[in-house]
């Protein structure tokens, strides 16, 4: 019965994570009850955090759960907590709780943490360990591709592109894979092909934030008309006003306008 309970918890954990990826945060928050296992309570906290509800309270609750003696045995809790800390840009805390894990989902997240820290060398070492333990796992292949993309040089970007293409042909050309392939092409200077892939991504989801951001970058490189780029930038500001990229873009716009006004008065 204990094994069956653990299997059902893991099943529900994956299901709720999938719902979160689809943006259905409220469904997860409503369905997970107060008596649910900590693993499911944790994924409910993730849904709450990503929906913008009580972010500070979510961080505090996760830290409290992590103080429990059994926390290190709960990979779902570790995965969620490290994900939230990564969103908080707290790489030190995220690594502290996750870097020793040998669970494939957590290891893949640690690769992402290293890449955000601009340490592809550490990511590469961990990917090799993943290949030794889970060579055919999709997360291993994705981690290998992302690491190759973040390493310098067109050759590694081409390797990453092949990996992403293979996964797309085997499963489905998802938004994530289309954006990954577009990023590879931009790294190699193939901006026309990147634009095509990003337009395909937007045909699947017109307001996808990552696709819009990558398209704005790509169109700038292609020196497309300002009104075309402005259309997508405005769409971003409306659909994802709190996104860090949008916030930084706004700061730079304000700074540019201020400098332009000062120069016009001289």
pLDDT tens, residue by residue, 112-167: 999 999 999 999 999 999 999 998 899 999 999 999 999 866 678 999 999 999 99
- 107-125 pLDDT, tens digit per residue, is 999 999 999 999 999 999 9
Q: Closest by alpha carbon to 183, among 227, 212, 218?
A: 218
- DSSP string spanning 2-47? HHHHHHHHHHHHHHHHHHHHTT-HHHHHHHS-TTS-HHHHHHHHHH
User: Strand, coil or helix: what is 171?
Assistant: coil
Q: For the segment 10-45, what is each residue's pLDDT rounded down to a tens digit? A: 999 999 999 998 889 999 999 999 899 999 999 999
Structure tokens at 154: 């067109």
Q: Tell me 84's DSSP state.
A: H
Give, in degrees to the nearest 5, the angle at Cα 218 between 217 and 221: 90
């Amino acid at each position: 019965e204990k094994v069956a309970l653990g299997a059902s918890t893991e099943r529900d954990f994956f299901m709720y994570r999938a719902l979160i990826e689809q943006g259905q945060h409220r469904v997860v928050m409503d369905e997970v009850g107060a008596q649910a296992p900590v693993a499911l309570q944790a994924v409910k906290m993730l849904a709450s955090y990503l929906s913008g509800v009580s972010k500070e309270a979510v961080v505090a609750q996760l830290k409290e759960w992590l103080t429990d003696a059994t926390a290190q045995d709960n990979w779902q809790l570790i995965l969620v907590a490290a994900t939230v800390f990564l969103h908080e840009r707290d790489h030190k805390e995220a690594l502290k709780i996750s870097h020793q894990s040998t669970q494939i989902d957590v290891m893949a997240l640690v690769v992402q943490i290293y890449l955000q820290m601009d340490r592809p060398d550490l990511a590469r070492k961990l990917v090799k360990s993943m290949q030794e333990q889970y060579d055919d796992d999709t997360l291993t292949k994705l981690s290998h591709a992302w690491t190759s993309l973040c390493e310098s040089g067109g050759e590694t970007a081409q390797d990453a592109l092949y990996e992403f293409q293979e996964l797309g042909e085997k499963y489905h050309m998802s938004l994530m894979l289309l954006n990954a392939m577009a990023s590879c092409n931009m790294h190699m200077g193939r901006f026309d092909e990147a634009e095509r892939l990003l337009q395909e991504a937007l045909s699947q989801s017109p307001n996808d934030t990552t696709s819009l951001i990558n398209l704005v970058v790509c169109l700038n490189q292609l020196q497309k008309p300002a009104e075309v780029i402005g259309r997508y930038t405005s769409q971003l500001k409306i659909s994802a006003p709190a996104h860090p990229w949008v916030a930084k873009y706004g700061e730079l716009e304000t700074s540019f306008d201020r400098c332009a006004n000062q120069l016009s008065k001289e």
